[in-house]
Structure 1
Amino acid sequence: MIKKDVIIGMLVGLIANSIGLYFTATLLRQGDDFITVIKAASEEGFLGKLISLGAILNLIAFFVFIKKRQDYRARGVLLITVFIAVLTFVIKLF
């Protein structure tokens, strides 16, 4: 049961981050499609920052789970957020 809740939290974290990344890219684009914005961000070196901004929705999901006393799901969201932080650090290095 605990493992299932952590996995659900991780899935919610990934989905929230993906939606946040899409919304962030939508705000930045000026008539371009999503893929073009991601390619331009990668070429210009701010893809890590874009992904980090997308992780803001993880904060909302985390606090919703904490408020509902679903601590293991909140732990899953937190694990994905840490993974995203490490990923952005690696992207910044290369």
Structure 2
Amino acid sequence: MAKKDIFIGFLIGILTSLLGSFLFIAFYIKSDIFSGIQILRENGYLGKVITIGTILDLIAFGILLKINRELMARGVILAVIVLALSTLFI
């Protein structure tokens, strides 16, 4: 059960980060999502946008702690660590 909760938290962390990145691209880049990602990649800003997208993980982490889902909150932190390491290589 513990591994399942951590995995669910990890998925929540990844999905909220993707949602945050999508919202940032949708509001600040005035083109469609795929050309926006291409523009960000060409200019070297894709890692920074992914990092900005992880701000929503903070909200998910707080909500999970509020409803006493500590293992899922650990999964969210694991997702943030994985995303931080992946931005080093992008």
Under TM normalisation by the shorter chain, which class is it? over 0.9
Distance 1:85 1:27 in 2: 23
| Corresponding residue for residue 43 of structure 2 | 44
1:14: Cα distance to partner? 1.1
Distance 1:88 1:81 in 2: 11
1:90: Cα distance to partner? 1.6
Identity %: 37
Point out where structure 2 has 5 or more consecutive residues left out of the alignment: none
Q: Which consecutive segments of 4 or more residues in structure 1 shift more than 6 A?
A: none
Secondary structure class of the residue paired with 1:69: coil
Point out where structure 1 has 5 or more consecutive residues left out of the alignment: none
| Corresponding residue for residue 19 of structure 2 | 19
1:10 lines up with 2:10 in the alignment: yes
5 Å-filtered alignment, 1:1-94, equals 1-30=1-30, 32-91=31-90
Distance 1:49 1:4 in 2: 30
Letter in 2 for 1:35: F
Letter in 2 for 1:23: L
1:67: Cα distance to partner? 1.1
- How many aligned residue pairs are there? 90
RMSD: 0.7
TM-score (norm 1): 0.92
Distance 1:13 1:86 in 2: 14
